[in-house]
Amino acid sequence: MEKLITGLAKFQKTEFQKNKALFKELANKQEPETLFITCSDSRIDPNLITQTDPGELFICRNAGNIVPPHSLTTGGITASIEFAVMVLGVKHIVICGHTDCGAMKGAMNPESVKSLPHVSNWLSNCSAALEIVKAKNGELSHAHLPEMTRENVLMQIKHLATHPSVASKMASGDLDIHGWVYDIPNGEVSCYDPIQQEFITIQKYYDRYYKSKNSA
């Protein structure tokens, strides 16, 4: 806690003072372009890896970067998605998984979370992704963790599309969905390419689609 208090004092004296105009602008409004859904893992800092300022990302975090399929049961993730899309009008949603994810390890080894009923129930939202990896590989081991991480991102994108607010904006072309995986030891991000149906480097994806789109 001492480190947090010291950091807060430093923020108020340095960063806040340097960015006073920005914080004044943000005092009564926010206009983020992107909803960023990622894991609660302490090693993931969305603003750091994307080099974005306060106000640019609307961030939702939970164990396993999970998006439960839409239902009549209200939950924090569901409400946040609806607010971001319908009120804030975000143009992009990123679901970002990461290497060495504890939630994915738990999903692959249910016995390890057996004594944690809420965690176990939450990870059931990854069960379809797990079955896909099992069908492709048979018996699973730690070596399949990267594949599980990628499949989970893709499954959560499918869950995301069941939310009415998301479905309507995607249908009108006002919303793009992106699947990312952050490689912690290398600082790299791979992005799912729906045309090639594979994860490629974010730079390659940008060069292939966004530069060509902007030049058209």
**pLDDT tens, 71-110?**
988 899 999 999 999 999 999 999 999 999 999 999 999 9
Give the CA distances from residue 213 to residues 58, 100, 203, in Å, rounded to whole numbers and listed in that order.
25, 34, 15
Rg (CA), the chain: 19
Per-residue pLDDT of 155-174, as tens digits, reads 999 999 999 999 999 999 99
Q: Can you tell me the distance from the alpha carbon of 56 to that of 34, in angstroms, rounded to the nearest whole number?
A: 7
Angle at 161 between CA 198 and CA 153, to 5 degrees: 40
Cα–Cα distance, 76 to 87 (Å, whole number): 16
The CATH architecture annotation of domain 31-215 reads 3-Layer(aba) Sandwich (3.40)
pLDDT over 70 (residue 120):
yes
Domain ranges of the chain: 1-30, 31-215
Q: Which element (helix H / strand E) includes 117?
A: helix 117-122
Which residues have a Cβ under 8 Å from the Cβ of 146 and sit 6 or more positions away? 99, 181
CA-to-CA separations, 175 to 52, 65, 80, 122, 127, in angstroms, rounded: 20, 19, 16, 27, 27
State the Cα angle at 92 between 89 and 96, rounded to 5°: 130
pLDDT per position as a tens digit, 37-61: 999 999 999 999 999 999 999 999 9
Q: Which pLDDT band, with edges at 50, 70 and 90, does 30 fall under?
A: very high
What's the whole-number average pLDDT of the chain?
Answer: 94
pLDDT at 33 over 60: yes
| Beta-sheet strands, E only, within 3-111 | 34-39, 57-62, 92-98
pTM across the whole model: 0.93
pLDDT at 216 over 70: no
Residues 108 and 140 sit within 8 Å (Cβ to Cβ): yes
pLDDT for 206:
81
